[in-house]
Structure 1
Amino acid sequence: MKRSLIKNGFFALIIGVLSSCSTQKSSSVNKVEIPDKKEVLEVAQRANQYFMDKWPDTKKDIVGKKVWPSNLWTRAVYYEGLMALYSVDPKKEYYDYAMSWANNHNWDLQRGTYTRNADHQACGQTYLDLYEIDGRKNPERIKNVKAAMDSMIATPKVDDWWWIDALQMSMPIFTKLGRITGEQKYFDKNYEMYAFTKYRHGGNGLYNAKDKLWWRDKSFVPPYAEPNGEDCYWSRGNGWVVAALARTLEDTPKSDAHYQEYLQDYKDLLSALLPIQREDGFWNVSLHDPTNFGGKEMTGTALFVYGMAYGINKGLIDKKTYLPVLTKAWNAIVKDSVQPNGFLGWVQGTGKEPKDGQPLAIDKVPDFEDYGLGCLLLAASEVYQLK
């Protein structure tokens, strides 16, 4: 009897120790993996303040190789990020800055109300956000963007999104309008155009179901190959798709006939990123060829962080699988990209493939500084909400 008690006590002690170690390890991992909210917010605020200080005039044209109005797609992506930051850090100065921008462009799209080009429509996402922030009391704020999308719906044409960046620029407008108005036509047109990009553009579509990644446009569909013989999957291009799907899932009803397809495409793309993350936390500009301008790159990485953090926050993907990956990436961005003054290093300039804007550097100013910040703020807004 005594021997039995001693034996049972011994096993109980061992089990207790193992349980304690397991609990401590789990607790330790959780503390390491989830970024501190205050630190996340400070990084976002610092980077954003740097930009707001540099561009106090929201109407000022952007001058480079040519002159662009400040409601072009690069600036629109910044304001998407600013609205995301505002949702977790509702400072009046953010709202005022966005309102100034929208008012300075008369709530119109780049190159006019009836443009079909997704890049020219992108600013409409922020107009819709500002319309909702103020309780939907000012329909003039969405008059032009709604007219543009209605004009697209009025035609059978569905091949406008011939490059994958376009998905992020335009899909969320359709789904936001669908949710705001309650009209199914916006969801239907959104899917028709998405499906053409996925299944038809480039011959058999720009999505490669085998690799679960997207070619940027038809010029990168095989037989085009990277120097190592692999397909060319551009990091930021696939990041745009991640963001497009996350924002589409946010506003599309689960009862919609195509919700599950969006969800599966989103999950598949994220899963394809897991084995190709760099050791330092970033992703290469060429996802399947690290020898083609391999190195740190912030924008694609930030968009992947945004998509993964969003999925965890919404319960769409497995937290145990993705939290360590996105945390590693976020920490790399904070450590290696965000500078003490808020400047963002390792940002690839505008383009469509790995060679564009190269070489990158910690102190190199890209041709446009705005969209990189937008990507960072989108990521920060979701990382901030991790529990």
Structure 2
Amino acid sequence: MKLKKIITPVLCATLFATALPAAETNEAKPSKKSVITAMRVANDYFMNKWSDPGQVIPYPSRKKNYEANLWTRGYYFEGLMDLYEVDPQQRYLDYAIEWGNKHNWGLRGTKNGVLPRNADNLCAGQTYIYLYQLDPKKPEKYITAIRSAIDSMMATDKIDDWSWIDAVQMAMPIFAQMGNLTGNKAYYDRAYDMYMFTKTKHGDNGLYNPKDSLWWRDADFDPPYKEPNGEDCYWSRGNGWIVVAMARMLDLLPEDEKHRKEYETMLVSMCKALKPLQREDGFWNVSLHDPSNYGGKELSGTAMFIYGMAYGVNHGLLDAAEFSPVIYKAWNAMVKDCLHPNGFLGYVQGTGKEPKEAQPVTYDREPDFDDFGLGAFLMAGSEITKMK
């Protein structure tokens, strides 16, 4: 999320209808116009469906409603802000600001004034901080809660919070944002310490397997846990969260920040490990090392992987000749096979922690939350538009 426009917080009353682009084929480079058109179609569908960004999200099977500042919606707004960077329409900012206002710029999980540490509940803060930095008036209300939550974590020595790998993306970039806001490098150091605990300490010997350059989702999937074919269980979207987090950190941190090399190495290693696992149709399976375990097209992990790959290509970390065909093949497949004419995105695995969750994943099935898959799609497309 770079910074471009000045905010004028007036909500646009009408969302633009956009024609669905013709899908590209195979590894052909999609035009920037077609990528932006696809993102607009998907995003307009969502913004029309959720015209009130503060509306609670019903979850009938659990007989409860979720506040719309939970992690799934927070991740969507990360993607929306990336879309804004390449398609700077004021209505995207207005929608994000209304979302923040509807929640009083607060964090889900706050109880009796006690702010959360849980990474999922911090995720909304990434967009809060982005909007604060973008607004020349710097409304302190945008960041009061997220700053206090992070500072309360900094006031302790606890670094073992991120016991599941999704958490690395939900919260780690916020520490980089806070370091940038304040100039205090301690935030960068704390992010690194917490990440390294997840990498090397959680579970038996950390959640990262250097042999395969992939991550177990949490300690439940450490060896001796195996997939049906005897391989380690590497969940697609779980690894996608790490890929996204590495790219986000590299985008946020100063060029001379001492921990950058770790994040660069991790991003490159993972992308190289993921490349040969791409399916012939352009997608990745939900189980990266066992295509027979609920194999099939899946958008969220696929979009996260090509976001990281596109970032790597755009910043000289990955060879364009080697990775561009992988990226284009996946993007074209998502547009062709997932994007409905009305903007609905199919083949999104619902929430969970492993391949068997929220199955079957199909073209028509709506996931339990329809926002995080769109966030991944918008982030991937936005980064692809920057490719030369």
Give the secondary-structure state (helix, strand or coil) at the position aligned to 1:250: helix
Inter-partner Cα distance in structure 1 for 2:28 and 2:328: 6
1:86 matches 2:81: no
Structure 2 letter corresponding to 1:71: N
CA contact under 8 A between 1:168 and 1:244: conserved in structure 2? Answer: yes
Structure 1 letter corresponding to 2:194: M
Q: With structure 1 as the length reference, what TM-score do the two structures score?
A: 0.91
Give the secondary-structure state (helix, strand or coil) at the position aligned to 2:336: helix
1:44 matches 2:44: no
CA contact under 8 A between 1:34 and 1:386: conserved in structure 2? Answer: no
- Indicate the residue corresponding to 1:364 in structure 2: 365
Inter-partner Cα distance in structure 2 for 1:261 and 1:253: 14
Cα RMSD after superposing both structures:
1.2
CA contact under 8 A between 2:173 and 2:245: conserved in structure 1? Answer: yes
Give the secondary-structure state (helix, strand or coil) at the position aligned to 1:194: helix
Deviation (angstroms), 1:125 = 0.4
Q: Max radius of gyration: which structure?
A: 1
1:320 matches 2:321: yes
Inter-partner Cα distance in structure 2 for 1:223 and 1:375: 31
- Indicate the residue corresponding to 1:342 in structure 2: 343
- Indicate the residue corresponding to 1:18 in structure 2: none
- Indicate the residue corresponding to 1:194 in structure 2: 195
* Identity of matched residues, %: 56
- Indicate the residue corresponding to 2:96 in structure 1: 98
1:150-165 aligned at under 5 Å gives the runs 150-165=151-166
Task: Identify the structure with the greater helix proportion.
Answer: 1
CA contact under 8 A between 2:70 and 2:120: conserved in structure 1? Answer: yes
- Indicate the residue corresponding to 1:70 in structure 2: 68
Structure 1 letter corresponding to 2:82: A
1:143-182 aligned at under 5 Å gives the runs 143-182=144-183
Give the secondary-structure state (helix, strand or coil) at the position aligned to 1:230: coil
Structure 2 letter corresponding to 1:81: G
Give the secondary-structure state (helix, strand or coil) at the position aligned to 1:33: coil
- Indicate the residue corresponding to 1:59 in structure 2: 54
Inter-partner Cα distance in structure 2 for 1:293 and 1:203: 27
CA contact under 8 A between 2:236 and 2:301: conserved in structure 1? Answer: yes
- Indicate the residue corresponding to 1:20 in structure 2: none
Deviation (angstroms), 1:385 = 1.2
Runs of 5+ consecutive residues of structure 2 not aligned to the other structure: 1-25
Inter-partner Cα distance in structure 1 for 2:251 and 2:137: 19
Inter-partner Cα distance in structure 2 for 1:122 and 1:313: 25
Inter-partner Cα distance in structure 1 for 2:319 and 2:158: 38
Deviation (angstroms), 1:243 = 0.3
Inter-partner Cα distance in structure 1 for 2:260 and 2:386: 24
Inter-partner Cα distance in structure 2 for 1:253 and 1:350: 33
Inter-partner Cα distance in structure 2 for 1:32 and 1:242: 22
Structure 1 letter corresponding to 2:92: Y
CA contact under 8 A between 2:247 and 2:267: conserved in structure 1? Answer: yes
Deviation (angstroms), 1:203 = 1.7
Inter-partner Cα distance in structure 2 for 1:189 and 1:319: 33
Give the secondary-structure state (helix, strand or coil) at the position aligned to 2:300: helix
Deviation (angstroms), 1:92 = 1.1
- Indicate the residue corresponding to 2:291 in structure 1: 290
- Indicate the residue corresponding to 2:22 in structure 1: none
Task: List structure 1 segments (4+ residues) > 3 angstroms apart after TM superposition.
Answer: none
Cα deviations by residue, 1:239-278 (Å, 9 ceiling, x for unpaired):
0000001001111223222110111011101110011100
CA contact under 8 A between 1:33 and 1:323: conserved in structure 2? Answer: no
CA contact under 8 A between 1:175 and 1:252: conserved in structure 2? Answer: yes
Inter-partner Cα distance in structure 1 for 2:231 and 2:319: 29
Inter-partner Cα distance in structure 2 for 1:254 and 1:171: 17
For the structure 1 residues 328 and 32, does the alpha-carbon distance in structure 2 shift closer, same or farther, using more than 3 Å as the test? closer
Structure 1 letter corresponding to 2:65: V
* Aligned residue pair count: 357
Inter-partner Cα distance in structure 2 for 1:180 and 1:382: 24
1:109 matches 2:107: yes
CA contact under 8 A between 2:122 and 2:146: conserved in structure 1? Answer: yes
Inter-partner Cα distance in structure 2 for 1:315 and 1:222: 35
Give the secondary-structure state (helix, strand or coil) at the position aligned to 1:244: helix
CA contact under 8 A between 1:254 and 1:260: conserved in structure 2? Answer: no
Deviation (angstroms), 1:232 = 0.3
1:197-216 aligned at under 5 Å gives the runs 197-216=198-217
Cα deviations by residue, 1:138-169 (Å, 9 ceiling, x for unpaired):
22211111111111011000000000000010
Inter-partner Cα distance in structure 1 for 2:33 and 2:135: 27
Inter-partner Cα distance in structure 2 for 1:168 and 1:293: 25
1:377 matches 2:378: yes
Inter-partner Cα distance in structure 2 for 1:228 and 1:46: 39
Cα deviations by residue, 1:92-151 (Å, 9 ceiling, x for unpaired):
111110000001111111122620000000000000111111136222211111111111
Inter-partner Cα distance in structure 2 for 1:141 and 1:204: 39
Structure 1 letter corresponding to 2:238: G
Q: With structure 2 as the length reference, what TM-score do the two structures score?
A: 0.90
CA contact under 8 A between 2:351 and 2:357: conserved in structure 1? Answer: yes
Inter-partner Cα distance in structure 2 for 1:380 and 1:195: 30
Give the secondary-structure state (helix, strand or coil) at the position aligned to 2:107: coil
Deviation (angstroms), 1:212 = 0.1
Inter-partner Cα distance in structure 1 for 2:318 and 2:184: 29
Deviation (angstroms), 1:32 = 6.1
Runs of 5+ consecutive residues of structure 1 not aligned to the other structure: 1-30
